[in-house]
Structure 1
Amino acid sequence: MNGPTLRRLACAFVILPALAVIAPAADGPPSASPWDGDARAAVRLVGGTPPPSAAFLIAGVEIRLGPAWKTYWRYPGDSGVPPRFDFAGSVNVKAARLRWPAPMRFADGGGTAIGYAGRVMFPVEVERIDPEKPATLSLALDYAICERLCVPVTARARLDLPAGDSEAAAVAAARARVPERTALGDGGPLAIRTVTVAEAGPKPRLVVTVAAPPGVVPDLFAEGPTDDWALPVPEPAGEGPDGTRRFMFVLDGVPPRAESRGATLRLTLVAGDRAIETTARID
């Protein structure tokens, strides 16, 4: 078993008393479900406004975190577990496509975690079975919250759609935080320019060159082609003569019997309020 996988399995989880469920307010707004949680973390569904002529409805899964608490991205880094969103109990919903807003990195014990703090909204595009009828979005969420120790949490929420739009601006802001897909080598002001193998061997060392607007410090995250890859979090490795920045990481954490050569990695570059995502094949 590889090092990053062992580190992830070593993340300390403590089972604490179940989180209290906050009862729905009698006069709660129709644009959001009641919060499910407590002062450490709570979850709700909110309604949004779809783009003009969209064939889907917009909603959001909002997680509210207390001071010093954090939760994880789809790839949690050296420790932690990703949240699991389940919309199987929904009514008149053909598909619920969840989008991941750009994350941040955290020092986490002896490693680096990737996730969110404060408040985070996950936009959801809801496609109905019958577009002429309303839908009910039902969420079952299993996630982890961490301060000094990590706590597994389960949350439930339901919201009738279309919903009110009092939270639409927050959902729209979250949609703007979802990384845009771009091509490797794009020449824009925020771009992943090159991915090169600096050292070959069983565990190649990769160097990723990125561009970011002046005065903005970018961050980079790397994911493997499948969920069982446990790649290290790329580390800053200086600036190039043309003002670009470099990140470096070793292709450690490759699953047994998997080959790094020929694999396609997903790279996410975050810079301020913008983020992009691209793929790169390792040759």
Structure 2
Amino acid sequence: MTVMYRTRRAALGTALSALALSLGLSGTASAQGRVDNPVVEAEILPGWTTQNGTRMAALRLILTPGWHTYWRIPGEAGIAPRLDWGQSQNVASVVPIWPRPRVFDQNGYRSYGYEDELILPLQVTAQDPGRPMALLGALSIGVCNETCVPADVTVQGVLRGPGERDRRISGALDTAAQPGARAGLTRATCRLVPEGRGAELTLRATLPPQGRAEDIILELPGSPYRITESRTWREGDELVAQASLRPPRRSEAVGIDRSTIAFTVLSEGRMSWSQGCTGG
């Protein structure tokens, strides 16, 4: 594993050197994975400069038809993506804005992701706004069809000038999560009940119907607890989610700060996000 990591870092260094030399040129560069990699193409869409001075670019992945990759929360059967932009030049930060994923059922397990193509908007902030940015990414993702394989891909591009709006990026942004209050969320309560090796978490969100196939995806940012066996159903004005929490060690008692509990409400038509709940 260490050898693979060092090899990839060496390749990144070579790519970065080449990218730095290209800063005086127009266009973007793209990179592909291994020959047996289901990621057919990876590229940076240069996008445009926003009114607040940041850059709205995007990562575009094209997959072999029928294959899919995963959302930031992959679900029980998925592989979480890792995106490393640390080798970029003149870049202070890169913030991904995830579009609404699809739901996949794999052998009785539910996962969330994107089939055939992913356009992931990136909000990029420059260290020096007066200079071009060299964006270099190292991606470790899971790609699945009937079987799942890990894929390591490098991608690079130059962000310069004002750019121009890209309908592909705008379309992906239109499906990104909106604040829960904007979707009609008025109240969220949670209840923790000790059970077996952990606890059962029940969250109730007072929320108007969001469309077909409503699903609540629970997360505990920064927590070592695992969330398993999650399910969602509706009871009138409330959308209810229930899941099991598993501590990192069997002997450890489950203790969760309710203000840290985050949840995404996903349906076929929209996606919303909220954090924090009261006792109930």
TM-score relative to the length of structure 2: 0.76
Rate the CA distance shift 1:137–1:258 in 2: closer, same or farther, 3 A: farther
Paired AA for residue 206 in structure 1: T
What's the % identity of the aligned pairs? 22
Gap change, CA 1:104 and 1:214, over 3 Å in 2: closer
Partner in structure 2 of residue 55 of structure 1: 53
Q: Does the 8 Å contact 2:139/2:153 carry over to 1?
A: yes
2:7 alignment counterpart? none
- Compared CA separation, residues 250 and 109, structure 1 to 2 (3 A): same
Task: Give, in angstroms, the shift of residue 35 of structure 1.
Answer: 5.3
1:275 corresponds, among 241, 246, 271, to 271
- Residues 1:179 and 2:174 aligned together: no
Aligned to 1:92: 90
Structure 1 counterpart of 2:221, one-letter code: P
Name whichever of 128-137 and 224-233 sits farther off: 224-233
- The answer to which of 153-162 and 208-217 deviates more is 208-217
Query: Do structure 1's residue 259 and structure 2's residue 254 form an aligned pair?
Result: yes
What is the rounded CA distance, in whole Å, between the counterparts of 1:222 and 1:163 in structure 2? 40
AA aligned opposite 1:252: L
CA 1:44/1:219 → structure 2, altered by over 3 Å: closer, same or farther? same
More helix by share: 2
Q: Give the conservation status (yes or no) of the 8 Å contact 2:29–2:156.
A: yes
Is 1:196 aligned to 2:156, yes or no?
no
* 1:277–1:238 distance in 2 versus 1, CA, 3 Å: closer
What is the aligned partner in structure 1 of residue 62 from structure 2?
64
Asked if 1 retains the 8 angstrom alpha-carbon contact of 2:229 and 2:244, the reply is no
Matched, 1:211 2:207: yes
Secondary structure at 2:221's aligned position in 1?
Answer: coil
Tell me the SS of whatever aligns to 1:235. strand
Counterpart Cα distance in 1 of 2:152 and 2:205: 39
Q: Structure 1 unaligned runs (5+)?
A: 1-28
Aligned counterpart for 1:120 among listed residues 118, 121, 128 = 118
Q: Aligned equivalents of 1:139 and 1:221: distance in 2?
A: 28
1:271 partner letter: S
Cα distance, 1:75–1:227 mapped onto 2, change above 3 Å: farther
- Cα–Cα, structure 1 residues 150 and 167, in superposed 2: closer, same or farther, change >3 Å? farther
Is the 1:73–1:116 contact (alpha carbons within 8 Å) kept by the matching residues of 2? yes
Deviates more, 1:144-153 or 1:29-38: 29-38
Distance of aligned partners of 1:146 and 1:179 in 2 relative to their CA distance in 1, 3 Å threshold: same
User: What is the CA distance between 1:277 and its match in structure 2?
Assistant: 0.7
CA gap of 1:230–1:30, structure 2 versus 1, over 3 A, is farther
The Cα shift of 1:274 comes to: 2.7
Determine the C-alpha separation between the residues in 1 that align with 2:26 and 2:253: 49
Cα offset, 1:221, TM superposition? 0.9
Q: Could you tell me which of 80, 83, 106 is aligned with 2:81?
A: 83
Report the aligned-residue RMSD. 2.8
How far apart are 1:273 and its partner, in Å? Answer: 4.3
Answer yes or no: is the 8 Å Cα contact 1:112–1:233 preserved in 2. no
Q: 2:242 aligns with which of 236, 244, 249?
A: 249
| TM-score normalised by length of structure 1 | 0.75
Compared CA separation, residues 215 and 200, structure 1 to 2 (3 A): closer
Write out per-residue CA displacement over residues 103-153 of structure 1, whole angstroms, 9 at most, x where no aligned residue: 232112242222222322111111111111111111111111011111111
2:49 match: secondary structure: coil
Summarize the Cα distance change of 1:170–1:74 in structure 2 as closer, same or farther, 3 Å threshold.
Answer: same
Alignment length, in residue pairs? 246
The structure in which a higher percent of residues are strand is 2
